Amino acid sequence: MFDLKTFEKDFFLARTPKIYFGPGMFERIPNFIGELGSRAAVITGSSSLENSGKKEILFRMLKCASINYVVKKVRSEPTCELVDRISNSIREFNPDFIIAIGGGSVIDAGKAVACMLEEEGSVLDLLEDVGTRKPSGRKRTFIAVPTTAGTGSEATKNAVISGNHGKHKSGFKKSLRHDNYVPDIALVDPSLTLSCAPLISAQSGIDAFTQLLESFVSRGASYFTDSLAKEALHAGRGIFPNLRNLGKDDISSRCVMSYAALISGITLTNAGLGAVHGFASSIGGLFPIPHGAICGALLTAVCEVNIAVLMKKKEAGSFYLQKYAEAAEILTGQKFANLNDALDGLIAWIRELTERLEIPPLREYGMTEEDFEKIVSQTSARNNPVELSGEDLTEVLKRSL
């Protein structure tokens, strides 16, 4: 859908990291770390660095560059307590830079630690909606090295942190956000994802897919973000449904997925996301459900309800309906006879995707209809292509249960 009027829309482009992308890029770390200082804090996951076979390589590279380092592990999604504990434990060591190597949770934790080394108090004080003050934007130099292809956190300006506070006594997920929190360097080596288990590949991949689709139909989208999102969707359309079956040496598919995840981080930062990720924040704060699993369980229903509400708006909704139709043609590789056929084709493709990836419904994680009211009350989706009422949001949950 090319329209010259698209260029009339204003947009702001957040800065991106200095990006190093490609198989084998990990071994090039010595090319730039020597310029960053003599002390590093390395934040890793519980096993991803070991599974990739790169742990000893990293430590050897740091030693060869005469860099002293400390290592901290993140074994779950980052909480306020975890971020504060790591930050306080390395404050005296005073690292010049932080390297976070792992999935989205590890990178978010590292991003928050890089911030908190320049702030006083708890990270809770700086979180959106629940904090008492805004972050200053100061941080230590931060390098993000993803070992999964999903969240795109290596290119975003926020870190998602879990905790309990005030009206959210039962739990919340909120963002630590500032334009300056975009990593200084994103080192994306797809070979680091080869050791990902099929379940992790599937859950991470559907998160990246959801971010690309939601940013494409977002009210904050621009021609710039559309160009990136469409190309990444096109590149990944044949790989997304097969994420559980990627071979241990299928580096080509891993490169595509790492690229898709990276681009999804750039597009979500600049365009914003929709109701799937609005729900993911509220549901993730209440239930211990993997983020990608939430996205996969909700995606079909959110698209169905969005399209139904847009249909009722007729002319007002036609622009976003056409974007959904364009996404359908990109993903299926088909030319549809009319708009309705394209929209039906999109829903069928997404439903088949979630089935092939074996994404379970939300009830399998303990959610019931009694939880709907609380979830809806905590769900915001300001960049969704259409405003959804409480009844609409409840309908999404019913279809996803």
Number of structural domains in the chain: 2
Domain end point (choices 193, 221, 253):
193
User: Looking at residue 224, which CATH number applies to its domain?
Assistant: 1.20.1090.10
Report yes or no: 284 and 173 within 8 Å, Cβ to Cβ.
Answer: yes
Alpha-carbon distance 245 to 14, whole Å? 35
Shared domain for 186 and 202, answered yes or no, is no
Shared domain for 182 and 210, answered yes or no, is no
- What DSSP assignment string belongs to 107-156? HHHHHHHHHHTTS-S-GGGGSTTT-SS-------EEEEEESSSSS-GGG-
Q: Does a structural domain hold residue 2?
A: no
Domain end point (choices 193, 221, 254):
193
Q: Does a structural domain hold residue 214?
A: yes
Q: What is the pLDDT of residues 348-382, one digit of tens each?
A: 999 999 999 999 999 999 999 999 999 999 999 88
Shared domain for 396 and 299, answered yes or no, is yes
Question: Which band of pLDDT confidence, cut at 50, 70 and 90, is reported for residue 2?
Answer: low
pLDDT surpassing 80 at residue 393: yes
Shared domain for 71 and 28, answered yes or no, is yes
User: Mean pLDDT throughout 4-8?
Assistant: 64
Shared domain for 221 and 83, answered yes or no, is no
Which residue segment(s) compose the domain that 73 sits in? 18-193
Q: Measure the CA angle with vertex 211, ends 260 and 126; round to 5°.
A: 115
Question: Which band of pLDDT confidence, cut at 50, 70 and 90, is reported for residue 49?
Answer: confident
pLDDT, residue 168, reads: 47
Q: CA 11 → CA 152, 180, 265, 272, distances in Å?
A: 21, 18, 17, 12
pLDDT surpassing 80 at residue 48: no
